[in-house]
Structure 1
Amino acid sequence: MNRLINGDRNMAELNEKKEKEIPDLEVLFDLADLFKVFGDSTRIRIMFAISDNEMSVLSIAEALNMEQSTISHQLRVLRQNKLVRVRREGKQIYYTLDDDHVKKIIEMGLDHVLE
């Protein structure tokens, strides 16, 4: 009897999953592209560096012991993908994560890796 109840429950879960609509193919491609951006360790390091405070390219380069040109290039990729935002103060430009979603993605990924 218990098997039957569990079987019915599993069948209900399968039906519920079938009812859940799969996003359009274009949306799934966009999601895959987003995860590709997270696939670069330099970009991850930059996002960690700016996750709690704004930093300039020079500050990020010094903190990560990397060339400014490398940081600038990766920040451009991150900006194009709406993962970081900029704030201009005079001639100085400061970078930070675009929103809490980005920080949550990084934190969830880290939690998963550390499990």
Structure 2
Amino acid sequence: MSIQRIEPGPRMSQAVVHGDTVYLAGQVAEGASVEAQSAAALQRIDELLAGVGSDKSKLLSVTIYLADIATFAEMNSVWDTWVDGANPPARATVEAKLATPDYFVEFSVIAAI
């Protein structure tokens, strides 16, 4: 089975397709709030999924990393308007120290194609 790497860089690819599954790198975005970063990161997820012939209705699993779990409700306010309610993925949300203090949220996605 072939492996396709999308936007490969020196450390990682933004997405990797293997068979009928796509694995996205953790998606972060700039912004002044958890809501702004969540909206921008989810838009980027839409773009990456579309680029391989998938979409959010085909999400299998999402892990969400929050720099501060107290912002759970703010992230969910954006997530709830974005996620396909008829096809919600398995999901976990955890508090974690992210790559820089400028990031408040990161999304790790696995989806079907």
Structure number with bigger Rg: 1
Higher RCO (CA < 8 A, seq sep 6+): 2
Answer 1 or 2: which has greater strand percent: 2
**Could you tell me the TM-score, scaled by structure 2's length?**
0.26
**Could you tell me the TM-score, scaled by structure 1's length?**
0.26
Answer 1 or 2: which has greater helix percent: 1
